Amino acid sequence: MNTSQTNFHELSGSQGDHHLDLYIKALDSANSGIIITDNNQPDNPIVYCNRAFETITGYSRNEIIGHNCRFLQAQDRSQPERKLLSDCIEKGLDCKVEIRNYKKNGDLFWNELYLSPVKNPQGEITHFIGVQNDITARKKAEHDLIEEKASVEHKIQERTKELRENQIFLSSIIQTVRESLLVLDPDFRVLSANGHFLKTFKVSSEETVGKILYELGNHQWDIDLLKELLVKILPTNNPVIDFEVEHNFPHIGKKLMLLNAYRIEHDGQYKDRILLAIEDITDRREIERRKDDFLSIASHELKTPLTTIKGLVQLLQRMQEGGITEKYKATLMKVAVYVDRLNNLISELLDTSRIQSGNIELHIEPFDIDHLVKDTVDNIALTVPGYEINVSGKSGAIIRGDESQISQVVNNLVSNAIKYSPGSKKIEIHIAKVSNFVKISIRDFGMGISAQDKPRIFERFYRAGDIQKKFPGMGIGLYISHEIIANHNGTLWVESEVGEGSTFSFTLPISKK
């Protein structure tokens, strides 16, 4: 049994050699490895193998014939497929397995093995035919695919975990902020509400989440202004910032709220969701109101004794005649100056609170604006000798307004120009007619105003940080001036460069008549 050919002769009995050669050639030209084992011999040895089997395994026929197939498994004996194979052999059944085999040089190859028994007329198994294909490449591709899939799955898991963590992180931020936050779907159904909302409006999560905003708590959120914000304003004006709404809630009473709303516009799973932040400013407003009341009462109360002191000083001044010393006179003058200053400060405070409560009265009369500016400037110039204060230009216009208030504005602006120009003694005031407005500009060459301070100097009590200690003041002159000009339908603004100086300008509409 040295060559397959002899084997085959023996196997086939005395068929014609010619036919046999043909069959053998056919088998040898197959791509699959083919073997035949003899079941009647001990240990079921291989009695035939074709060329492809030699190529696949790397063994030559001489090394193959006579062996049991298991020699291909080398030491790799624990594969479950082996059990399947031996069961089929025992029961005489066809089977197909994919099994790890090893070539002569030790290389692993995956063998796709079809095994089928050959039976004699009595039904006894005489041989087995094994057809094998090297499917290593396919196995590798399969393996790579599995690995790839596992790696993708791993990445997805990681990403999902990251997303979940992000979500937890975000929701913990939302839960922590001291402002009420709601997330709504496009139909205004509440998707989530943070702890601050639940606490402020005394509701539970169950009563809130999943409900339409307007239906919450027995329709207590059915607020016209809120609807207007969400339905009319937000779709065209995203986001809506600091929208003030006052509402009387049945259980918690009247609340003043600042609403901030943002609709998510970019595509994605959160598109069209609405974030609604509700800041309860009821208490803050109340405190502001009390502060204003205090300001108004305090300045009013201060004014009364001061008026008396002023009267007494005037009385003393008139009593001077009879042999009073120069020193006494000078001291009295100083007292009068300080009393005036204090009087002005208190008047400003009073004005502030009047403006705040909308109680400022305008005594509207027509007046000559050029004349008013010059008069006011002349009066100030008297108090600051050595200053070069020039008024140029003219408008020739008549303004209808409160003359004393406009004078107060010019006074504030020129006084500031002096106060905030420690290194310069020059101030230029210009009067012009611009279209149907008068424009007054007060230019100084002093310290100037930084870009951060510029937008805020017209606020009540605002003073630029670095001047707090060096220059006295309460930060209300510009606020009052701004309000006065606004009440006269004009505008007041500033242009300034730090270190170069500032120009404050205001306009007033010219009376038609």
> What residues make contact with ligand ADP under the rule CB under 6 A?
412, 416-417, 420, 444, 446-449, 457, 463-464, 467, 473-479, 502
Neighbours of 124 (CB within 10 A): 11
Q: How far is the CB of 467 from ligand ADP (least distance, A)?
A: 5
84 vs 345, beta carbon nearer ligand ADP: 345
User: Under DSSP, is residue 511 helix (H, G, I), strand (E, B) or coil?
Assistant: coil
Q: How far is the CB of 381 from ligand ADP (least distance, A)?
A: 17
Q: How far is the CB of 330 from ligand ADP (least distance, A)?
A: 28
Q: How far is the CB of 368 from ligand ADP (least distance, A)?
A: 26
Kind of pairing, strands 437-444 and 426-434? Answer: antiparallel
401 vs 446, beta carbon nearer ligand ADP: 446
* Rounded Cα gap, residues 283 and 200, in angstroms: 13
* Rounded Cα gap, residues 192 and 208, in angstroms: 8
Closest CA to 381 of 350, 341, 426: 426
134 vs 351, beta carbon nearer ligand ADP: 351
175 vs 450, beta carbon nearer ligand ADP: 450
265, amino acid identity: E
Q: How far is the CB of 282 from ligand ADP (least distance, A)?
A: 29
Q: How far is the CB of 417 from ligand ADP (least distance, A)?
A: 5
CB of 303 closer than 8 Å to CB of 350:
yes
Q: How far is the CB of 497 from ligand ADP (least distance, A)?
A: 11
50 vs 411, beta carbon nearer ligand ADP: 411
Q: How far is the CB of 351 from ligand ADP (least distance, A)?
A: 12
430 vs 433, beta carbon nearer ligand ADP: 430
Across-strand partners of 102? Answer: 108
8 vs 420, beta carbon nearer ligand ADP: 420
User: Under DSSP, is residue 59 helix (H, G, I), strand (E, B) or coil?
Assistant: coil
Q: How far is the CB of 474 from ligand ADP (least distance, A)?
A: 5
* Rounded Cα gap, residues 394 and 173, in angstroms: 60
Please give the sequence-ordered ranges of beta strands (E in DSSP) within 264-313, or none if there are none. 274-280
Please give the sequence-ordered ranges of beta strands (E in DSSP) within 26-124, or none if there are none. 33-38, 46-49, 95-102, 108-119
Q: How far is the CB of 300 from ligand ADP (least distance, A)?
A: 20
CB burial class (10 A; 0-12, 13-18, 19+) of residue 256? middle
Tell me the residue nearest to ligand ADP as measured from the CB: 473
Please give the sequence-ordered ranges of beta strands (E in DSSP) within 79-185, or none if there are none. 95-102, 108-119, 125-134, 180-184
204, amino acid identity: S
CB of 472 closer than 8 Å to CB of 429:
no
315 vs 451, beta carbon nearer ligand ADP: 451
Kind of pairing, strands 190-193 and 492-497? Answer: unpaired
Q: How far is the CB of 379 from ligand ADP (least distance, A)?
A: 18
129 vs 298, beta carbon nearer ligand ADP: 298
CA dist 34 → 49, 109, 322, 373, 495 (Å): 6, 16, 147, 118, 99
Which token pair is 124? 């006894």
3-state helix, strand, coil in the chain (%, to 5): 45, 25, 30
CB burial class (10 A; 0-12, 13-18, 19+) of residue 321? exposed
User: Under DSSP, is residue 397 helix (H, G, I), strand (E, B) or coil?
Assistant: coil
Sequence length of the chain is 513
203 vs 478, beta carbon nearer ligand ADP: 478
192 vs 415, beta carbon nearer ligand ADP: 415
